[in-house]
Amino acid sequence: MTRVYNFGAGPAMLPTEVMEIAQREFLDYRGMGASVIEISHRSKEFDAIINETDRLLVELAKIPKNYKILYVHGGAQMQFSAVPMNLITRNPDRKAAYVESGNFAKLAIKEACRYGTINVAASSETSNYDRIPELEMTAVDEKSSYLHITSNNTVYGTRWQRFPDTGNIPLVADMTSEFLSRELDISQFGVIFAGLQKNLGPAGLALVIIREDLLHYALPETPNLLSYKTYAEKHSLSNTNNTFAIYMMKLVLEWIKGQGGVTTLELQNEAKANLIYSAIDDSSFYQGTAEPAHRSIMNITFNLADSDLVDEFLSQALAHGLYALKGHRKVGGLRASIYNAMPASGCQTLVDFMNEFEKTHT
């Protein structure tokens, strides 16, 4: 069996060790004679899995005691509805503020408009989201129920280097493409959410971390299975949850702990990203598409000076075992998504290939 270096933006590669454990345990989970996907979400075995997942999240992300961990159905985009439904009435005027830093922010704004008056406090649309827009807190209505940001913009390869101080307005962050890739102070946020499919596990489930005082503002029409309060009260088991995704996340969290935790991963992630950004910056053959000061360390977006060579680059890269480097259609060119599970050797192989491709095409 040959595994490629998978640079896909998501669903993304998971650590090989995690996949191997899942494979070994798949038919017979710890001597039960049944698979983890065949046992009840209310069994003592699954109870141990979900409790350990909570415990590892608290430990690795340093989640303070006044926050709840929820495992919410649907992917990250389901949170684009869940966030306004659960928070918009924190202020009776039903106002919320959003920073438009990319297509997922734009989708979140579109969805939120169904539930209240949405103010786009800053946008980088005019420069095709090549940066995080400058946010002045004076542009944010102080009556806003919350301020929503996308901490890492998967498509455009930008991220917030530092997070805004929003005072009494809860900061809500879509961290789908970077959660647990860098150290965070969770107490800066009212809500953090992340679809699992980049750094945490399989697609279809979202991790939500919410400050307890924000659990009480849901619109009366909020479906039970989108109500954060219900998830908090029922330990995310109001109905049959995606037990396999939670189990996979537990394995990923154990792997992160084994790597030395988030601090170690952040250093590795910075080194991996710098390797590729240096290859881009040291050559006029390649061009980065994001403003250098706003660059993501998870999604590296770049182009070839001669964009007609992109298809050939992609097919030759694949022949070298470098998979899914095509950029998102909104940016074009190339994108290397290098989440926690991408080994440094994958980034080095990509850089070696880039250098070789440049030599043979200049």
Ligand X SMILES: Cc1ncc(COP(=O)(O)O)c(C=O)c1O
Provide the binding-site residues for ligand X, judged by CB under 6 A: 10, 75-77, 104, 150, 154, 174, 176-177, 195, 203
Instruction: Provide, rounded to whole angstroms, the least separation between the CB of residue 157 and ligand X.
Output: 11
Instruction: Provide, rounded to whole angstroms, the least separation between the CB of residue 193 and ligand X.
Output: 9
Residue least distant from ligand X (Cβ): 75
Asked whether the CA dihedral 250, 86, 73, 324 is positive or negative, the reply is negative
Cβ pair 237, 244 in contact under 8 A: no
CB nearer ligand X, residue 77 or residue 238: 77
Q: How far apart are CA 179 and CA 76, in angstroms?
A: 12
CB nearer ligand X, residue 180 or residue 279: 180
CB nearer ligand X, residue 122 or residue 279: 122
The CA-atom distances, in angstroms, between 228 and each of 225, 266, 351 are 8, 30, 44
Q: How far apart are CA 75 and CA 355, in angstroms?
A: 37
CB nearer ligand X, residue 66 or residue 128: 128
Helix (H, G, I), strand (E, B) or coil at 301: strand
Instruction: Provide, rounded to whole angstroms, the least separation between the CB of residue 76 and ligand X.
Output: 3
CB nearer ligand X, residue 304 or residue 342: 342
Helices 76-87 and 103-112 meet at what angle, rounded to 10? 40
Nearest to 302 by CA among 283, 316, 323: 283
Structure tokens at 317: 């890269």
CB nearer ligand X, residue 203 or residue 232: 203
Structure tokens at 93: 């005027």
Q: How far apart are CA 277 and CA 79, in angstroms?
A: 32
Instruction: Provide, rounded to whole angstroms, the least separation between the CB of residue 104 and ligand X.
Output: 4
Instruction: Provide, rounded to whole angstroms, the least separation between the CB of residue 300 and ligand X.
Output: 14
Instruction: Provide, rounded to whole angstroms, the least separation between the CB of residue 118 and ligand X.
Output: 17
